[in-house]
């Protein structure tokens, strides 16, 4: 039943994209002025289109993430645009992960290299988290590789939520001119520090959990 509902959902998204082909073509061409001008006239359309765009980005990574955040931040303002971008990214990632694990695992296992699978299995939460804040790996590949691995949905969703919360904040500053695309070295330095902080917190929590379990089993 869930599989049928998912297929129906995908068909609805496909039909929506087809019926709004002109708008999505403008997005593809990065014609921001035209896109924002159309979306500002219809708030409901804006929510649907930006969610669909984030879904596509998490499925195939063919749309620049900065483009989506620029649209959201420009229309909704910094805070709401940032939070809406973050929320839709987590929901879309979770859906792709779930679909990969439950319905397309056998097909994807043949297409995703063993190197990616082993990396995800070995590092789990930290692999997904690192991939989110250091965009060296396509978003879609992280979702699919995690989906066919043994990483739990809970760890995947938590790593995605935390990683995107950090990375999206920096990206949202670019449309406001508070950060430029050319400042990659400074952005990565800041992200590295935040990554180190979260890594230390994660390792400490994991160590504490193991110690607690050890004491209980004694």
As a three-state string, the secondary structure of 114-164 is HHHHHHHHHHCHHHHHHHHHCCCCCHHHHHHHHHCCCCCHHHHHHHHHHHH
- List pLDDT tens digits, range 61-116: 888 888 999 999 999 999 999 999 999 999 999 988 888 777 765 555 555 555 55
Total residues found in the chain within this entry: 218
Give just the sign of the alpha carbon dihedral 57, 63, 66, 69: negative
What is the Cα Rg of the chain in Å? 19
- List pLDDT tens digits, range 1-42: 666 766 777 788 888 888 888 888 988 888 889 999 999 888
CB 133 within 8 A of CB 166: yes
Note the pTM of the prediction, 2 decimals.
Answer: 0.78
């Amino acid at each position: 039943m869930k599989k049928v509902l998912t297929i129906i959902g995908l068909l609805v998204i496909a039909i929506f994209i087809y019926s709004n082909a002109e708008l999505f073509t403008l997005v593809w061409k990065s014609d921001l002025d035209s896109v924002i001008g159309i979306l500002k006239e219809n708030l409901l359309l804006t929510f649907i289109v930006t969610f669909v765009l984030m879904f596509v980005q998490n499925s195939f990574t063919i749309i620049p993430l900065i483009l989506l955040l620029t649209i959201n931040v420009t229309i909704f303002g910094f805070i709401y645009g940032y939070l809406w971008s973050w929320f839709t990214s987590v929901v879309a990632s979770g859906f792709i992960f779930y679909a990969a694990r439950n319905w397309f695992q056998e097909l994807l296992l043949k297409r995703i290299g063993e190197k990616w699978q082993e990396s995800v299995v070995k590092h789990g939460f930290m692999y997904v988290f690192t991939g989110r804040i250091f965009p060296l790996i396509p978003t879609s590949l992280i979702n699919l590789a995690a989906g066919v691995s043994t990483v739990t949905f809970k760890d995947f969703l938590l790593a995605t939520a935390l990683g995107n919360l950090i990375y999206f904040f920096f990206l949202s500053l670019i449309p406001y001119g508070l950060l430029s695309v050319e400042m990659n070295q400074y952005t990565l330095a800041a992200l590295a520090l935040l990554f180190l902080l979260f890594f230390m917190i994660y390792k400490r929590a994991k160590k504490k959990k193991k110690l607690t379990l050890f004491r209980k089993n004694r």
